[in-house]
Structure 1
Amino acid sequence: MSDTTFSATPFPKVSAMNSTQQFLDNMEPTTGIGKWVCHLLIEEGVIGVLGNLLVCFVILRVKFLHTMTNYLLVNLAVADMLVCLECIFYGLIYYENCKIIDYVPKTFGGKVVFCCFLQSNFLGWALSYASAYNLCVVTFERYVALVHPLQYARKLTATRMKTLIALIWVTSFLFSLPFLFTLKPSNDPDLACSEIEYQDNTFHILLGVFAFFLSYLLPLTLMSWAYYKIHVTLKRQAKALNLQHARAAAYDLVIARQRLVRMLTMVLGALIILWTPINTNFLLCINPTFSFCGSKGFKYFEAITCIMLYFNSVINPIIYELKYKKFRQGLKLTFCCCHKSHGANTVDIAMVPL
C-alpha cells in the first residue's frame, strides 16, 4: 500500500495528481522556495482570520448595519475565517518546511480520525463548499430583493433564511463525505495515513468531476446569472426614474443599490479569478495521461494556484473597506469616537427591498 503526503490544496490526493505538499517537500533546500510558499500561506491565513473577524465585529456592533444582507455577509465572513484557520492549521502541522509538530497518532482510532477528517482534506472541502454557497445565499437575497421586491417579505422571512443558512452548512459537509474514502490508516507505526488503492481510477475521476461541478461550476453559474438579472433590473429602474424626473431620493436609492451590487459583483469576480486556475488544474490532472501534471513547471503552477485559492478568503474584507460605503462608516463609528454622522439626505445603502 502506498503512503501518501498531505495536499496543500483542499483537493483530494489522487494517483494522477502531484500535490502542493510534494512541491513544498521536494524543492531543493538551497532555493528556499518551498519554505517561502508555506510561510506565505500561513501569513495569508492570519491576515484572513483578522480581516474576517473585523467584518463580523463591525457589522454586529453597529446598529445601522443590522440588515439581512449584512447578516449574510457575516455568515460568509465566518466561512472565510474558518478557511483561513484551516490554512494556518495545515501550515503549522503538515508542511515539512513550516510544521511545528511532527504528530503521528499511535492508536488505530486516532489514525482513523486523523486520516479521514483531517489529512484527507474533508474539512478543507467542506469549508470551501460553505464559502461558495454562502455567497450564493447573499446573491439569492439580493436577487429577490431587487428583481422581485413585492415577494421579498413573504419569501425571505428571518426563519427561512436561518433555515437556509443551516442547510448550506449541513449540505457542505455532506458533499464532502466522499473525501473520507481517499485515505486510510497506515500499518506503518511511523506513518499516519496511506492512500486507498482502487482497481482503477474511476472513483477519483468521478470524485473530481463531482467536486468541480458542485464547488465551482454550479455556484458560479447561478451567481453570474443572478447578478446579470440584477444589473438589468437596476439599469431599467434608473432609466425609468430618470425619464420620469422622479424625486432625487428615489433615484439616489437606485444608485445606492447599484453600488452595493457592484461591490458584491467584485466579490464574485474575485472568486472567479482566484478559483479558476486551481479548479482548471484539478480537472485537467484527473486524467493521468496529461503529461504537464508531472512536470516541474506544474509544481510551481500548483503552488501559485494554492496561494490564489486561499487569498480569496482574505480579499473580501478589503473589498468591503474599499467599495462598501456603509461598512466604512461603521468601521469609523466603531473605532473613532470623533466620527460625525452624515446629513439626513444620505441614502442608506444597507438595502431595504423596496
Structure 2
Amino acid sequence: MSALNSTQQVFDDEEPTIGKWVCQLLAVEGVIGVLGNLLVCIVILRIKLLHNMTNYLLVNLAVADMLLCLQCIFNGLIFHQDCKIIDYVPKTFVGKVAFCRFLQSDILSWAFSYASAYNLCVVTLERYVALVHPLQYARKLTTTRMKILITLIWMMSFLFSLPYLFLFKPSNDPDLVCSEIEYQDNTFHVLLGVFVFFSSYLLPLTLMSWAYYKIQVTLKRQAKALNLQHARAAAYDLVIARQRLVSMLTIVLGALIILWTPTNITFLVCVHGAFRGQIPFCGSNGFKYFKAIAHVVFYFNSVINPIIYELKYKKFRQGLKLTFCCCHKSHGANTVDIALVPL
C-alpha cells in the first residue's frame, strides 16, 4: 500500500499545483474521517441502547480509522512541501533518529492501517458467529476472549509495521534530516512488498470473503428449511433480513476491493522504485498521477466506514436520533437485543 508513504515522497518531482491539490484533498478527507468516526464513538458510548459487544467492536474499528485519518492530516501538513504549516527539522542525533524511524517511515500510518483492516475482520467474524452460530455465540465470544483478541490485533498491527523502521536513517548531510537506507540488492524491498500485500490486503480480504460466503449459504439453507416447514412468516422475515445483510456485506466487500486494490497493486509492483528499470511505467509521470489518486482513494476507505458499518445499522440510527434530538422518544421497551442483525 504505497498510499501510506509520506506525501512528500509521493510527489517528488511533480508539479506543485498537483501536489497542492492532492494534499488539500487529503486534509479535507482526513477531517471528515475524524469527525465521522468520532461521531460513531460518541453515539455508541453515550446511548445505553447500544452498549453491547458488537457495538464496542465498532467503536474499536472507528478508533483505528480515526487515528489513520489523523495521520493522513499530519502527513499532509508536516511533510508535503506545498501544504506544510510546520517546517520542523530536528537538530540532535536522537531527534533525527526518532523523526526518520517513526515519522518519515510512516510506521504509525501502517500500524493504524493494519489495525483498521483486522478490526474490520473481527467485526465481520463476530457477526458471522452471531448469524451462523447464534446458540454458540455466548460461549465462543466471551468478553474476556474478545478483549484478548482486540489487544492481540493492536499488538500485531505494530509488529507487522516494524520493517518500516529500516527504510530511513539519519542523514550525515547537515542540510538533510533523513536518507533512505541503501541495500546491496532489492531483496528487502521485494520481500517487504510481498509481505505487505499478503498481510494487509490478501489475508483480511480472504477472511471476510469466506465469512460472507458462509453467512449467505447458511441463511439460504435456513430459509429453505423454514419454507419446507411452512413457516411462512418466519421464512419471509428471514429472507428480508438476509437480503439486507447481503446488501450491506456486498457494499463492504466492494468498497474494500475498489479502494484498497490500487494502492496494494502499486506497492507490490513498484515498491520503492525497485522495479523501475524492469517496468517502465513505474518510473513514468503517468504512474505518479496514478499513485497520487491511489493515495487519496486509500484513505477514503476510513472515511466511508462509518457510513457503511453504522448508518446502515438500524439501532445506530436510533441512537443518532437519541443523541441529537432531545424530543425523540425511545422505543427501547423491547428487551430483545437485535443489534446482531444490521437492518
Given the two structures, how large is their TM-score scaled by the length of structure 2?
A: 0.91
- Post-superposition offset of 1:209: 0.6
- Paired residue for 1:24, among 4, 8, 11? 11
Q: Secondary structure at the match of 1:194?
A: strand
- Paired residue for 1:231, among 200, 216, 220? 216
The amino acid of 2:172's aligned partner reads N
Provide the residue aligned with 1:3 in structure 2: none
- Post-superposition offset of 1:144: 1.8
- Post-superposition offset of 1:330: 1.1
Does 2:51 align with 1:62? Answer: no
Aligned alpha-carbon RMSD (Å): 2.4
State the alpha-carbon separation in 1 of the partners of residues 26 and 113 from structure 2.
16
Does 2:210 align with 1:216? Answer: no
1:111-260 equivalences under 5 Å are 111-246=96-231, 248=233, 252=237, 255-256=240-241, 259-260=244-245
State the alpha-carbon separation in 1 of the partners of residues 235 and 43 from structure 2.
28
- Post-superposition offset of 1:323: 2.0
Q: Is the 8 A contact 2:101 2:168 kept in 1?
A: yes
Does 2:320 align with 1:331? Answer: yes
Structure 1, unpaired ranges of 5+: 1-6, 12-18
- Post-superposition offset of 1:154: 1.4
Q: Is the 8 A contact 1:20 1:299 kept in 2?
A: no
State the alpha-carbon separation in 2 of the partners of residues 301 and 237 from structure 1.
45
Does 2:59 align with 1:74? Answer: yes
Does 2:305 align with 1:316? Answer: yes
Provide the residue aligned with 1:96 in structure 2: 81
Provide the residue aligned with 2:259 in structure 1: 274
Structure 2, unpaired ranges of 5+: none
Are residues 333 and 294 of structure 1, via their aligned partners in 2, closer, same or farther at CA, if it must alter by over 3 Å?
Answer: same
Provide the residue aligned with 1:306 in structure 2: 295
Provide the residue aligned with 2:90 in structure 1: 105
Q: Deviations over 1:43-72 (max 9, x none)?
A: 000000000000111111112222221111
Q: Deviations over 1:112-132 (max 9, x none)?
A: 111111111111111111100
The amino acid of 1:318's aligned partner reads I
Are residues 22 and 116 of structure 1, via their aligned partners in 2, closer, same or farther at CA, if it must alter by over 3 Å?
Answer: closer
Q: Is the 8 A contact 1:256 1:349 kept in 2?
A: no
- Paired residue for 2:38, among 53, 77, 99? 53
Q: Secondary structure at the match of 2:231?
A: coil
- Paired residue for 2:3, among 1, 9, 29? 9
Q: Secondary structure at the match of 2:3?
A: coil
Are residues 341 and 257 of structure 1, via their aligned partners in 2, closer, same or farther at CA, if it must alter by over 3 Å?
Answer: farther
What is the count of residue pairs matched by the alignment? 337
| Percent identical residues | 81
- Post-superposition offset of 1:262: 3.7
Q: Is the 8 A contact 2:107 2:162 kept in 1?
A: yes
State the alpha-carbon separation in 1 of the partners of residues 239 and 339 from structure 2.
12
- Post-superposition offset of 1:349: 3.6
Q: Secondary structure at the match of 1:99?
A: coil
The amino acid of 1:26's aligned partner reads D
Q: Deviations over 1:158-193 (max 9, x none)?
A: 000000000000000001111101110111222211
Q: Is the 8 A contact 1:129 1:172 kept in 2?
A: yes
State the alpha-carbon separation in 2 of the partners of residues 98 and 108 from structure 1.
27
Q: Is the 8 A contact 1:122 1:177 kept in 2?
A: yes
- Post-superposition offset of 1:83: 0.3
State the alpha-carbon separation in 2 of the partners of residues 163 and 257 from structure 1.
30
- Post-superposition offset of 1:254: 6.5
Given the two structures, how large is their TM-score scaled by the length of structure 1?
A: 0.88
Q: Is the 8 A contact 1:256 1:347 kept in 2?
A: no
Q: Is the 8 A contact 2:223 2:235 kept in 1?
A: no
The amino acid of 1:62's aligned partner reads I
State the alpha-carbon separation in 2 of the partners of residues 247 and 330 from structure 1.
32
Q: Is the 8 A contact 1:8 1:21 kept in 2?
A: no
- Post-superposition offset of 1:152: 1.7
